[in-house]
Amino acid sequence: MALKETFPVVTDMKVIPVAGNDSMLLSLSGAHGPFFTRNIVVLTDSSGNTGLGEVHGGEAITKALEESVHFVMGRQISEYRSILKTLTERHNERSKNSEGLQNLSLANLKDVVHSETAIESALLDLWGKFLGMPVCDLLGDGRQRDEVVILGYLFYQGDRRKTDLPYIDESDSDNPWFRIRRNEAMDADGIVAQAQALKEYYGFKDFKLKGGVLEGSSEMEAVEALASKFPDARINIDPNGAWKLDEAVELCKNSSLTYAEDPCGTEMGYSGRETMSEFKMRTGIPTATNMIATDWRQFYHAVGQKAVDIVLADPHFWTMSGSVRIAQVLNDWGLTWGSHSNNHFDISLAIFAHCAAAAPGDITAMDTHWIWQDGQHLTHNPHQIKEGKIRVTDAPGLGIDIDMDALYKAHEVYTKLPFGARNDAVSMQYLIPDWKFDSKKPCMVR
């Protein structure tokens, strides 16, 4: 029998949209609703193994995954690269006229997110189990590190009590972080309190503040308060390009920032790549992005204009193999890899961990929303953040096992929602009536 004929084939592919509880987190795009949504892929192969994948929520992504089923069923798991190539080409064709995320329009998120990442993850999970190897050993040049440093992701948060929406309350929890993570936090003291609780529970040494919410001066006050409280911490801010170039320079120059993520964006006929290049020259502060270099062509122009030092290559935007491939290029060119995140369950946490473990070079601390979702597990054994790190074990595949009961309960929550795609304007309008998104105005400044 030929070796090729001995590999398992995919016998079942389930696409399951799910939802979980969220906090009223604020960003340039508005306020998170009481629920976040994701799409889960569960593959089964002829050997009886199960492979898992997760990607952003929304009906468009669900449909793209469902339309991919016949490209996956009956294929050998060893063909995952060929399958992924076909699906990526289909994605690129669907999204070829999109304007991307340079102005943070959530309507374009479906075009930037590669739905096929969930399928890639599930296939790699199966392939790793077949070979008895962890996924990080199958990506790029293999495992580069056993521990991945994570940062504490801080958010301003609205007062959920001003809404009639079903946000949950955990203020009676024994967990120091869970106890405050659903509560209003609209000033520097609230942000520092979040950081203290995160450091106590997860051991974070580095922090990132989501900006684009208040006036820039108020947000930089919070940055300096964090720097004063945690003098050894690496601290950065992400206003999602809300600041004008001159304002960004004035706010950030001589600050305590380690780097600035998308401090400015499109302005007066200039692209975000051009304004960020000027920001770097005028401040000397390294820049990071998940907005102006979300694909290879954008990356080419961003690097050509010396606009970015750190590419936050979320594998859900780049695919897992693509995220590690750009990490290799960044390392060869003396630049830095990192990963942006979105609200997610523990399957995506494993995806992030394995990509970061395979990314070469001196990568930056990875950010994750998992801290806001922790406790809502879809697996029996989610990765743990301890001492500010995730340790990637030698367990085969992703190293996690699906909890089907939890998965279908999360699906049941999803079926009761009025819509699946993210829309931060709905909750925001409880705080500011008739609020509308404006890419150049922080969400609370109207």
Nearest Cα neighbor of 354 from 142, 150, 202, 203 is 142
Helix (H, G, I), strand (E, B) or coil at 148: strand
Burial class (CB in 10 A: 0-12, 13-18, 19+), 268: exposed
User: Which strand (E) or helix (H) includes residue 310?
Assistant: strand 310-312
Which contacts (CB < 8 Å, 24+ apart) does range 4-8 have?
4/76, 4/78, 7/76, 7/77, 7/78, 7/130, 8/45, 8/46, 8/47, 8/49, 8/76, 8/77, 8/126, 8/130
Give the 3-state secondary structure of residue 82.
helix
Helix and strand numbers (H, E) in the chain are 16, 15
The terminus-to-terminus CA distance of the chain in angstroms comes to 70
Judge whether 96 counts as a catalytic residue: no
340: annotated active-site residue? yes
| Contacts of 161 by beta carbon, 8 Å cutoff, 6+ apart | none
Which of 44, 116, 39 is closest to 320 using CA atoms? 116
Q: 91, 110, 205, 340: which one is catalytic?
A: 340
Residue from 114, 210, 316, 369 carrying the catalytic annotation: 210
CB 378, CB 406: distance < 8 Å: yes
d(CA 341, CA 318): 12
Do the beta carbons of residue 306 and residue 280 sit within 8 Å? yes
Instruction: Please compute Rg for the chain using Cα positions.
Output: 21
Q: Which amino acid is at 53?
A: G
Backbone angles phi and psi of 4, in degrees to 5: -55, -35
- 174 by Cβ neighbours in 10 Å (0-12 / 13-18 / 19+) ranks as exposed
The CB density around residue 222, as the number of other CB atoms within 10 Å, is: 25
Cβ-based neighbours of 246, under 8 Å, separated by 6 or more: none
C-alpha angle with apex 294: 101 to 374, nearest 5 degrees?
Answer: 80
CB 232 within 8 A of CB 206: no
Catalytic residues: 210, 340
